[in-house]
Amino acid sequence: MRPVPFSFQPARSVAALAGAIVVLAGCASPPVAVAPTRAAQSATPVDDEAQQQRAFAQWIAAFRRTARAAGVSEATLQSALDTARYLPRVVELDQAQPEFTRTVWAYLDNTVTPQRVSQGQEKLQQLRTELDAASARYGVPPAIVVAIWGMESNYGGNYGNTPTIDALATLGFEGRREAFAQR
């Protein structure tokens, strides 16, 4: 039997890539049910909102010291962290992500639509120069960047309404993704 030559088929490639991303993400993240939170790890669970806010303020202060020691300017720290808020809803959403609460095929059936694939193909063509430059610099193929962009924000169409710094600070404080949120 002769090997079949490789042929690039953008629609299949984007769909396969999206599936691979979901599968790899599932492999990379521990199941939600066994993921400890900061409250579960502490000897005295943070059950009172005032205690939660104090613990978050202490985490922000410690993170600020770490960031300052890493060379982040005081102006940047003030701008980003002086008004940072703990957002319990971010933790709820993080623990109920559809790619981890549905089967992979149910998730893909709802997210990898012909419209999204077609839009991804258009974005690949429209932004070819920029994507190739980013690929050369960071080593990530353009199709992967576009697939992630499509899955995470519908190609910039969904900005969301959650403040980014607050969300990252919340995830860093909460514990399950502390190392990721502090990068």
Q: What is the pLDDT of residues 122-153, one digit of tens each?
A: 999 999 999 999 999 999 999 999 999 998 88
Sign of CA dihedral 68, 72, 75, 78: negative
Does pTM top 0.75 for this prediction? no
What is the distance between the alpha carbons of residues 103 and 41, in angstroms, rounded to a whole number? 29
Contact 120/14 with Cβ under 8 angstroms?
Answer: yes
Contact 148/9 with Cβ under 8 angstroms?
Answer: no
What is the distance between the alpha carbons of residues 94 and 117, in angstroms, rounded to a whole number? 25
Contact 145/131 with Cβ under 8 angstroms?
Answer: yes
Q: What is the pLDDT of residues 65-75, one digit of tens each?
A: 999 999 999 99
Annotate 65-118 with three-state secondary structure.
HHHHHCCCCHHHHHHHHCCCCCCHHHHHHHCCCHHHHCCHHHHHHHHCCHHHHH
Q: What is the pLDDT of residues 146-173, one digit of tens each?
A: 999 998 889 988 888 889 999 999 999 9
Sign of CA dihedral 40, 174, 26, 180: negative
What is the distance between the alpha carbons of residues 58 and 46, in angstroms, rounded to a whole number? 13
The one-letter amino acid code at 135 reads: S
pLDDT for residue 103: 80
Mean per-residue pLDDT of the chain = 77
* Domains in the chain: boundaries: 49-87+162-183, 97-161
